Amino acid sequence: LSVKAPMEMGSSSTEKFYRIPEGKGPHSVGCTDLMTENAVEGSFLRLYYPSCNATDNEEAPWIPDKEYYQGLSDFLNMYRVVGERLFQYYVGSVTCPAKSNAAFKPGEKYPLLVFSHGLGAFRTIYSAICIEMASQGFIVAAVEHRDESASATYYCKRKSISERQEESTSNMEKEWIYYRKLKTGEEERCLRHKQVQQRAQECIKALNLILKINSGEEVMNVLNSNFDWNSLKDSVDTSRIAVMGHSFGGATVIESLSKEIRFRCGIALDAWMLPVGDDIYQNSVQQPLLFINSEKFQWADNILKMKKLSSNDTNKKMITIKGSVHQSFPDFTFVSGGIIGRFFKLKGEIDPNEAIDISNHASLAFLQKHLSLKKDFDKWDSLVDGIGPNVIPGTNIDLSPAE
């Protein structure tokens, strides 16, 4: 898949218009992909991190393989051949504003954030959030889940001897895993609960992997890249770790908090609560938790589950961003024009940049408080209480019992 950087394509107005926003913090941002061995049991993630100024490095491709277009087509019930062409045409040249394999910026210990994607998504399409966090001094590990909830993902397996002779380039090949649709008559909650447990384990695996690299252990990356993983040694503040995710990733945040005490707090963006197990509500999430909801996605039953989880704990907060939709959190909202954006509900009534700023600022203020960061993110504390333009405390959903 050839992805042209915007510079090469000339500065046409459309190129500037469809742009994933850059990080607003003091750090330049790099990103790199990491996949460990053990095939499907291993870890796969995109790491976003504070980087040295990398003028020579190109921006990372946003959607790195055509198979992701095929998976998105499956997820959206489109013919693959049609979907692939459409995605290639509209977003084939989109890059994310992080420099691919840029040198890591050493010299301080950064808090760690593990990020979990939503249903039908994958590791690269929440780059606006992950890049902002990295620009503000976080190392962000965006996990790609292999529970068949991603549109597409893959692991690498060694080629057989006969295949190797044909092609001398690499002895590894990609084994693709596509989104699994519900079978006829299958109960959704059962499948999603099973998936969310795997997802939480994958978040914990990612955490262990980054801490392993931090301690100086050699890690084999089966993806070829010239990123120096040794540069991460002693760079993670191991006492300041949080987990964040969108939709199904929001449920994954809750499941991960209940299983792993090293996650000191969590942020659930427009969480989908169906996958969360009943056992979790029996006091098994002790850590602080921030629910950031869109105005248009939520419904009473889902909100009541969040409230059940939060019962009278002042460190569990909920806010709603006015005019926002479920797709205000992933990157598609930035790379779609107004008509297509509204038609596919990728855009709400609020400007996408304003919505993501509210979400990111509230997240940073919450993280500063609960990870005891010495930053100035507390200037956004009021947002965590739902005070400010286009934000309300709690929910816009009427929770009074139906007549």
Measured distance CA(131)–CA(70) in Å, rounded: 26
Q: Which of 145, 246, 326, 361 is catalytic?
A: 326
Count CA atoms within 13 Å of residue 198 on its CB side: 17
- The distance of Cα 351 from the centroid of its chain, to the nearest Å, equals 21
Q: 361 an active-site residue?
A: no
Instruction: Please work out, in degrees rounded to the nearest 5, the angle formed at the alpha carbon of residue 68 by the alpha carbons of 48 and 269.
Output: 50
Q: 294 an active-site residue?
A: no
Among 124, 115, 136, which residue's Cα sits nearest to residue 50? 136
**Is residue 189 within 8 Å of 229, Cβ to Cβ?**
no
Instruction: Please work out, in degrees rounded to the nearest 5, the angle formed at the alpha carbon of residue 65 by the alpha carbons of 67 and 156.
Output: 80
**Is residue 135 within 8 Å of 162, Cβ to Cβ?**
no
Among 322, 297, 309, 315, which residue's Cα sits nearest to residue 393? 322
Measured distance CA(244)–CA(132) in Å, rounded: 13
Q: Which of 51, 93, 135, 247 is catalytic?
A: 247
Q: 117 an active-site residue?
A: no
Q: Which of 74, 270, 331, 357 is catalytic?
A: 270
Write out the catalytic residue numbers: 247, 270, 326
